[in-house]
Amino acid sequence: MSAPAPLRIVFAGTPEFSVPCLAACRTSGAEVVAAYTQPDRPAGRGRKLTPSPVKQAALEAGIPVEQPESLRDTSARERLAAYAPDLMVVVAYGLILPRKVLAIPRLGCWNVHASLLPRWRGAAPIQRAILAGDAESGVDLMQMEAGLDTGPVLLERRTPISGDDTGGSLHDRLAALGAGILAEGLRRVMAGETLTATPQPEAGVTYAHKLDKAEALLDFTRPAIELERQVRAFDPWPVAEGEIAGERVRVWGARAIDTAPSAAAGTVLAAGRDGIDIACGGGALRVTAIQRAGGKRISASDYLNARAELRTPR
């Protein structure tokens, strides 16, 4: 008796977050018959057309790459159907999948989403969780349906969010967790198991709207703890910005300190080796890492070497 044919997977993803999941599909014993990803976009100072991380990884693995502008037209759906996928795995793809696309694979479409659904459906769940001060995050393996991240959850893994986590560190941890949860799902399905699909609760729905560069500006009239989260969430992009004694700088490192400043919000209260303390609407923000216009990321102490007039005794 011949062995059953391997599971045929079409993978759809675009950014670096998706790459570990593509690798998990490849090592699962399934056959990745195509990788769908966003069209090449201009990037860098020269605005040169640049392939997505998923495209680069797929080409290196010899996987056919598809880059449609949309999946809504008939020809795009016919091309997808021609791959005869058993399953479509979607990880931060960036295109909406119409109902007719969701119906093409025999087992439907799975999505790996970087939040504990129904909290933070949408485009930027990692950063929104840090901004909100959430104590934990995680990844959900979800059976896709027509709504935005509304499908039933198949598997879930959780991770605490520490006070040191940045958008970058949480991204990397969730990308690894996502690959692990996907690998488990594939292993169990290929072993003949039917995963239990648990509907998302109706209570607790929040939306993680796409990040806007305008959100990066630090408003010192707000509580310091909110600004600390902003600095952490927006590292490595779009990077928080604020004004320190008249100079606009990028702020890469900061922490809230519990103090009752007597000066107006935005005033430098103290500056020394430990950082630059700035009065906020509640408490103060101690800035520890800075980037001047056209410069590199430096410590607050090094910044004060160039702005010695700000130094104050603590």
- Its sign, for the CA torsion 299, 301, 305, 309, is positive
C-alpha span between 216 and 213 (Å, rounded):
6
The answer to whether 169 is annotated as binding is no
C-alpha span between 6 and 94 (Å, rounded):
27
Q: Are 182 and 139 in contact (CB under 8 A)?
A: no
**β-strands 240-244, 247-257: how paired?**
antiparallel
The answer to whether 105 is annotated as binding is no
The answer to whether 116 is annotated as binding is yes
C-alpha span between 114 and 264 (Å, rounded):
39
C-alpha span between 215 and 259 (Å, rounded):
25
The answer to whether 118 is annotated as binding is yes
Residue 146 in tokens = 């027509």
C-alpha span between 59 and 49 (Å, rounded):
16
Longest dimension (CA), the chain: 83
| Sheet strands (E) in 29-166 | 31-36, 41-43, 48-50, 65-66, 87-91, 109-113, 121-122, 136-143, 153-160
Q: Tokens 């014993």 sit at which residue? A: 29
CA 223 to chain centre: 25
Q: Are 141 and 183 in contact (CB under 8 A)?
A: no
Could you tell me which of 92, 89, 91 has the C-alpha nearest to residue 110? 89
Torsion over CA of 139, 93, 128 and 229, rounded to 10 degrees?
Answer: 100
Q: Which residues are bridge partners to 270 per DSSP?
A: 277
User: Which residues are documented as binding site?
Assistant: 115-118
User: Which residues are documented as binding site for (6S)-5,6,7,8-tetrahydrofolate?
Assistant: 115-118
